[in-house]
Amino acid sequence: MEILGIDIGGSGIKGAVVDTEKGELSAERYRIPTPQPAKPKDVAKVVAKIACHFDWQGAIGCTFPAVIKQGVAYSAANVDNSWIGTNAEALFAKATACSVHVLNDADAAGVAEMSLGAGRGQKGVVFMLTLGTGIGTAMFVDGRLVPNTELGHLELNGREVEPWASDKARKDKGLAWKKWAGRLNSYFDYLEFLFSPDLFIIGGGVSKKGDKFLPYLKTQAPVVAAQMLNEAGIIGAAIAAATVVGHKAPAKTLREK
């Protein structure tokens, strides 16, 4: 099945047509910088531009960096507060005249890795962690996603983990790789205490530099770098949409009006 996957991030909004069986991009990726501030209406315009670029009329799978339930955003850690309570799915469906499925960005990346990447066939408890501006988490139990875990916002030693151990924190504070890995060790140790995972998959842009920090990690469970890197969000969103959008009624379209 071909689905248009769209990945909404803090600096760019990227889209590509995905062959969901192969987990491959069927056409070259198209990127537009994220509007600033990234208010719902402005982001929806960019999503529509991406759909137009591909002359797309089929289903769309879309990531968003927040808690997403039935298409509605319930948090706004690194995005504009006006997203809280916004039905992103309805907004994008209206803007694109397509059926849209929206899910959390880390959940989407996890779906891609579990289907076709580092987590393929993995049983037990698997964590996908995306280390970037924020810390995104996706938890899988025997291959099934437990959505919206948001474990980057856990409190550890009296402080929130995300602003202390994200890749942004590493860059902002100029932390050496070893020092940053030490922070990740404290965080992963806590996740192991809580959930006894069987595998950690590390994604986000920094996973390309895995050789710099993965050797310092001392978890009980194995830690591996994500395999799909930049495209995991786009591919995962499309795969997730393929399982649900086909069953939804077509969106009432702007094009029809």
Site residues for ligand BGC per CB under 6 A: 65-66, 75, 77-78, 104-106, 130, 134, 136, 150, 152, 162
**What are 210's strand-pairing partners?**
none
User: Residue 99 or 130: which CB sits closer to ligand BGC?
Assistant: 130
Q: Which is nearer to ligand BGC, 46 or 103 (CB)?
A: 103
State the nearest-atom distance from the C-beta of 64 to ligand BGC, in Å. Answer: 8
CB of 124 to ligand BGC, least distance (A): 22
**Residue 57 CB, nearest approach to ligand BGC (Å):** 29
Between 61 and 152, name the residue whose CB sits nearer to ligand BGC.
152
Minimal distance in Å, beta carbon 105 to ligand BGC?
Answer: 5
Residue nearer to ligand BGC on the CB measure, 97 or 108: 108
C-alpha to C-alpha distances, 97 to 9, 86, 101, 235, nearest whole angstrom: 22, 18, 13, 21
CB of residue 150 to ligand BGC, shortest distance in Å: 5
Of 117 and 147, nearer to ligand BGC (C-beta) is: 147
119 to 22, 122, 143, 254: CA distances (angstroms): 16, 5, 8, 39
Cis peptide before 222, with omega less than 30 degrees from 0? no
Closer CB to ligand BGC, residue 89 or residue 105? Answer: 105
20: helix, strand or coil: coil
Q: Name the amino acid, one letter, at 173.
A: K
Give Cα 14 to chain centroid, integer Å: 12
Cα(28)–Cα(9) distance, integer angstroms: 18
Could you tell me the sign of the dihedral formed by the alpha carbons of 185, 173, 178, 118, in that order? positive
Question: Rounded CA gap, 47 and 28, in Å?
Answer: 16
Question: Could you give the strand order of the β-sheet that contains 125-131, starting from the edge strand earlier in sequence?
Answer: 144-146, 135-141, 125-131, 199-203, 223-225
Minimum distance from residue 139 beta carbon to ligand BGC (Å): 12
- Tell me how far, at minimum, the Cβ of 77 lies from ligand BGC, in Å: 3
Alpha carbon distance 248, 226 (integer Å): 31
Beta carbon nearer to ligand BGC, 1 or 164: 164
